[in-house]
Structure 1
């Protein structure tokens, strides 16, 4: 019998921290990617780089590189949800609202992850996990109020940006729950992710060409370095770690990375963008951390 929840073990906490720290930094990089290149093409380039890196890693691991028809169909569905819809919504949301607000909206990923996991995987949320979620969401609400007060855009632009981000959250949640299904576990993680990213990049290219025209590339050094960072570190490495977390502790608990990411994003913004904290933001960060501790210590209830 387990004496401590699996989610409090170092084998979970270390990758949890790695994913949170890396994804907490990507919001700043994404913002820089929007200067010249249309969002759809930036998303396409990112996942083309990520897919190649992921399959190269699969080859080094000597995982099988091909999928059967069922595997390719699953990879296509995963790619559409995670690497087409989700990220096109994210990049477009950042054209309307600040990266901090988008990061805060993505903290809500916990809710659809828990609901969809209950519906499709039969995973229940215990009392302690529910309490932790409520505490964390209260913290997210305070962070959101703080960000809304600082937002330089009007209410119309803010609503458009938040709406786009919410659609992205739902798309990401669908992909998260897909990774916890039996079908996903039939194939090597690196191979499945590599093909999902490449198929997603292909759909991204078709969408970009249809909506904004021929490819546009920016040769500025920071753009290219940012693209490499987002593709290899912010996608290939982190998604493989994150999806393994989903398989280990379930979509609801894994989604707590998205609850903590806004705090990390704001800390980095303090250093690089002169972000100014307030009592609201500080209280929100404390509540998010408290909710995280409560949720990760929760034992998984019987089905």
Structure 2
């Protein structure tokens, strides 16, 4: 179980968002070695296998019978839809901007949580969320609204749909998995989600060349074992101990780290809008966490 001291929780969040931010570079780079669906199948197949081994070593049993249908739904929402749409969208959209679009997820999670979980959003958290989203739009720049190729717009729409699906899975998890081990949830949702991805890869990319090199295998292992198996297990744990808005606002750090790693490793430009937008995101996270517990 995660520690309940606030500073320790934030260290955990920082590590998770760092890993996810770095993973975006690997996801984009992997497209030169194989199709987007094939890479996702390798990634989540590796992640699911890792989780099954962990459950076996820890002698964790199967989830309750009544939860299997819910696990399939979360697997489709959290793994199949999100990463099929994101990986396909990245064919048309840069890695940095892809991460920014996906991490519009907090607004969808917050709205759905308010509707279905009756979670009230305190004023300061709402303000922090708004500031963070303005930061995302600042990073994207005005070219998201004009002078874009239709294929780029198509890719961006796919990634936004993925963000909505992720937000829905967060809320569904809170509704249906109280008292269920997060290890069980992440393992079996990933298994079912991976089956959907494999089906898509077979239908859409059968016969396309696959280049398994030291580099591409590293991409698969890092994103499968760390960014998927480890980080999504920790993510479900976070959702079980802190409120939805705080958890999801914290993920706004991911595109900030993604942009930084893009500059560091891919020599992508750090523009003024990226720096200003990143500052707004960090400010939004600070503002959202100024809320007192009594709220």
Are residue 119 (structure 1) and residue 112 (structure 2) matched?
no
Are residue 93 (structure 1) and residue 86 (structure 2) matched?
no
Unaligned runs of 5+ in 1: 1-5
Unaligned runs of 5+ in 2: none
Are residue 258 (structure 1) and residue 251 (structure 2) matched?
yes
Which residue in the other structure is 2:205 paired with? Answer: 212
Which residue in the other structure is 1:18 paired with? Answer: 15
Give CA-to-partner distance per residue, 1:242-282, whole Å, 9 cap, x none: 11111111222111233111111111111111122232222
**Distance in structure 2 (CA, Å) of the matches to 1:268 and 1:148:** 22
**Distance in structure 2 (CA, Å) of the matches to 1:204 and 1:278:** 35
Residue 104 of structure 2 aligns to a residue whose secondary structure is helix
**Distance in structure 2 (CA, Å) of the matches to 1:233 and 1:110:** 22
Which residue in the other structure is 2:167 paired with? Answer: 173
Q: 1:7: Cα distance to partner?
A: 8.8
**Distance in structure 2 (CA, Å) of the matches to 1:156 and 1:134:** 28
Tell me which of 100, 107, 110 is aligned to 1:104: 100
**Distance in structure 1 (CA, Å) of the matches to 2:209 and 2:181:** 34
CA 1:58–1:11 in 2, change beyond 3 Å: closer, same or farther? farther
Are residue 60 (structure 1) and residue 57 (structure 2) matched?
yes
Q: 1:125 touches 1:301 (CA, 8 Å); kept in 2?
A: no
Q: 1:101 touches 1:148 (CA, 8 Å); kept in 2?
A: no
Q: 1:133 touches 1:291 (CA, 8 Å); kept in 2?
A: yes
Residue 67 of structure 1 aligns to a residue whose secondary structure is coil
Q: 1:107: Cα distance to partner?
A: 2.4
Q: 1:55 touches 1:190 (CA, 8 Å); kept in 2?
A: no
Which residue in the other structure is 1:3 paired with? Answer: none
TM-score computed with the length of structure 2 as normaliser: 0.92
Give CA-to-partner distance per residue, 1:66-95, whole Å, 9 cap, x none: 234322211111110111000001101110
CA 1:49–1:175 in 2, change beyond 3 Å: closer, same or farther? same
**Distance in structure 2 (CA, Å) of the matches to 1:26 and 1:245:** 20
Which residue in the other structure is 2:24 paired with? Answer: 27
Which residue in the other structure is 2:224 paired with? Answer: 231
**Distance in structure 2 (CA, Å) of the matches to 1:191 and 1:218:** 33
Tell me which of 181, 190, 195 is aligned to 1:188: 181
Which residue in the other structure is 2:140 paired with? Answer: 144
Q: 1:24: Cα distance to partner?
A: 0.6
Q: What value does the CA root-mean-square deviation take over the aligned residues?
A: 2.2
Q: Which segments of structure 1 move beyond 3 Å, counting only runs of 4 or more?
A: 146-149, 214-217, 299-302
Number of corresponding residues: 293
Q: 1:219: Cα distance to partner?
A: 1.5
Q: 2:33 touches 2:216 (CA, 8 Å); kept in 1?
A: no
